[in-house]
Chain A
Amino acid sequence: MIINHPLLGPRDASEFTHLGDESMIDRPDGMNEGAAEKFHDYLYLRDNPAGKYRELWYHEAGDRSWLVVTRDTVTHEIFKVELARDVARSRGRSK
């Protein structure tokens, strides 16, 4: 698989490590009510779809940026690659 890095262009997927579901960007607030249940769902439960999937990859052997890759888990086709920080900021984080 080739991941089209937004800053560095097309890179071989073997330069990256895979963390998993993009929802891990949205870490629950540990001080809120029901935090234990929320953390359980956040850490352990997954949608795990067959088809389009948004997931976190880390460019470990490169510029060490975190990316959100939109990929088909059935064909391995990659549709979109974004910087994870842009995705987080677009959701109102660390403006």
Chain B
Amino acid sequence: MRYSAFGILKQGLTGNKGWKPVWREPEPKKSYDYIIVGGGGHGLATAHYLAKVFGGKNIAVLEKGWIGSGNIGRNTTIVRSNYGLDGNQPFYEMSLKLWEGLEQDLNYNAMMSQRGILNLAHSDGQRDAYARRGNAMLMSGADAELLDRSAIEKMCPFLNFDNERFPIKAGLLQRRAGTARHDAVAWGYARSADLHGVDIIQNCEVTGFQMKNGKCLGVQTNQGLIKAKKTAVCVAGASSRVMEKAGMRLPIESHVLQAFVSEGLKPTIPGVITYGAGHFYVSQSDKGGLVFGGDLDGYNSYAQRGNLPVVEDVCSGGMSIMPMIGRARLLRMWGGVMDMSMDGSPFIDKTGIEGLYFNGGWCYGGFKATPASGYCYAHLLATDTPHENASQMRLDRFIRGNMIDEKGVGAQPNLH
């Protein structure tokens, strides 16, 4: 079923009785050409592009729980392409371009809203660093503007400009950045993949790999053995646990990141704003809630919940840059398990095992990457060569000395 304004009108006038489930619930077949492990944003996007762009056939997505139960349904939905390094920025700009055409491509309202992201700078050194990052962005074909204090005052009069320790000196603005509805992204990709013949199999946990002579021939699941010519893992926070079953140790630690939503308020925050001196970022959802977050809790965790010290830390960051939010009540908070890599950048790569592929290490920035990650992973699966924009996202980059360390903090995942 294609969605259209006329269709909505017709359904509205006939009691909304004609809507149908947007994907099938098939039984798994005995074998597939491609199995994608993990029905998060990246897995579903991979299935969509593999079927639609690369002509892949006979594809299944296996999801342990229900699709959208992982980080795709838990993130703070910021979409941007404001990275500095060569190995990252062209990839994220490719992703932003795909976001711009996503709803037409999927025929699905993902509520992509290009309301802009403003990174605040609080010292001369930070302003210089943002100028350099902005130039790197421009060179990748992205947009970037350096704002001075008076321009920011016009845009966001509610900010605390004269904090003694961290006054606002400047800001890096990317107008094409913004937010999207996270669940709708998962549903839209799922629907499109399904329409292209992909079997989406929920409640199907991969428990091991079928290996023979160093080749991966398929996966063991709680619904039995399913064979595949190519098996593509993309399970985000569960990366180490799944790849361990193939005998691999990854350059990844799992950490918990929390997110917070306030009660609904009148429209007040124009786009996404990030505090450059503490770790705090905020946007306002269309329902009016302030959606915000900050640092990782800082210790390895597979619990989808965090602890109170970080709640205090995030809220005090918010108070110091935006004192007006002090009266807003917190409605909800939750956590997600992040696949933190050793340099803060992801992997889209073959493994040493024939027929087995890996996508992961997205840290807390994988939502914006969803379209490009799916596209580049599908490219790798279909052609066995990396897409040019993901060509540095390799598992062996550490031994080669080619880290993609945006922050420059080294192999310390809780600091990226």
Using a CB–CB cutoff of 8 Å, the interface residues on chain A facing chain B are 1, 12-14, 17-20, 36-37, 40-41, 43-50, 53, 55, 71, 73-76
Which of B250, B303, B307, B399 contacts A48, CB < 8 Å?
A: B250
- Chain A residues contacting B413 (CB-CB under 8 Å) are 20
- Our pick among A20, A37, A76 for the contact of B399 (Cβ within 8 Å) is A37
- Mask for B153-181, Cβ within 8 A of A = 1, else 0? 00000000000000000000000000000
Quick check: A45 and B251 within 8 Å, CB to CB? yes
- Looking at the complex, which one of B244, B252, B254, B414 makes contact with A18 (CB distance below 8 Å)? B414
Residues of B283-313 contacting chain A, CB below 8 A: 298-303, 307, 309
Are B342 and A44 within 8 A (Cβ)? yes
Asked whether B240 lies within 8 Å of A20 as measured between CB atoms, the reply is no
Q: Is B241 an interface residue (CB 8 A)?
A: yes
Partner of B253, one of A36, A43, A48, A74: A48
Measured CA separation A74–B304 after assembly (Å): 9
B411–A44 CB distance below 8 A:
yes
CA distance A71 to B254 in the complex (A): 14
For the complex of A and B, the 5 pairs showing the least CB-CB separation, nearest first, are A48-B240, A14-B309, A50-B302, A44-B251, A44-B398
Closest A residue to B305 using CB positions: A76
Tell whether B412 is near chain A: CB-to-CB under 8 Å.
yes
Check if B249 is an interface residue, CB within 8 A of chain A.
yes
Known contacts A73-B300, A75-B303: A20-B414 contact under CB 8 Å: yes
Contact indicator B240/A53 (Cβ below 8 Å): no
List of A residues within 8 angstroms of B301 by Cβ: 73-74, 76
CB neighbours (8 Å) of A12 from chain B are: 309
Contact status of A18 and B299, CB under 8 A, knowing A1-B307, A43-B398: yes
Q: Which residues of A contact B241 (CB under 8 A)?
A: 48-50
How many of B's residues come within 8 Å of A, CB to CB?
Answer: 24
In the bound assembly, the distance between CA atoms of A12 and B310 in angstroms comes to: 13
Q: How far is the CA of A76 from the CA of B305 in the complex (A)?
A: 10
The reply to whether A46 and B398 form a contact with Cβ atoms under 8 Å apart is: no
B269 to chain A, nearest CB (A): 29
CA distance A46 to B249 in the complex (A): 6
Whether the Cβ atoms of A17 and B298 lie closer than 8 Å is yes
CA–CA, A55 and B254, complex, Å = 13
A39 vs B302: C-alpha distance when bound (angstroms): 27
Instruction: Chain A residues near B307: list those with CB within 8 A.
Output: 1, 13, 76
Verify B299–A55 contact, CB threshold 8 A: yes
Q: How far is the CA of A45 from the CA of B412 in the complex (A)?
A: 11
Taking a contact as CB atoms closer than 8 A, the residue among A41, A44, A45, A74 that contacts B303 in the complex is A74
Q: How far is it, in angstroms, between the C-alpha of A13 and the C-alpha of B301 when the chains are bound?
A: 14
User: Which residues of B have CB within 8 Å of A14?
Assistant: 309
B-chain residues with CB within 8 Å of residue A20 when the two chains form the complex: 253, 300, 412-414
Write the chain B residue with the least CB distance to A41.
B249
B249 contact set on A, CB distance < 8 A: 41, 45-47
- Whether the pair A73, B251 counts as a contact (CB closer than 8 A) is no
Q: Is the CB of B300 within 8 A of A40?
A: no
Q: How far is the CA of A45 from the CA of B106 in the complex (A)?
A: 38
Q: Which residues of B (358-416) have their CB < 8 Å from a CB of A? A: 398-399, 411-414
**Do residues B299 and A46 form an inter-chain contact, with CB atoms below 8 A?**
no
**B252 contact set on A, CB distance < 8 A:** 46, 48
Per-residue 0/1 for B246-267: is the Cβ within 8 Å of any A Cβ (1 yes, 0 no)?
0001111110000000000000
Pick the contact of B254: A17, A41, A73 (CB < 8 A): A73
Contact A45/B250 with A1-B307, A55-B299, A76-B307 known, Cβ cut-off 8 Å:
yes
**Further contacts, 4 of them, CB under 8 A, given A43-B342, A46-B250:** A18-B299, A18-B300, A40-B398, A46-B252
**Interface residues as binary, B207-249 with A (CB distance below 8 Å gives 1, 0 otherwise):** 0000000000000000000000000000000001100100001
| B249, closest chain A residue (CB) | A45
Contacts of A44 in B (CB 8 A): 251, 342, 398-399, 411
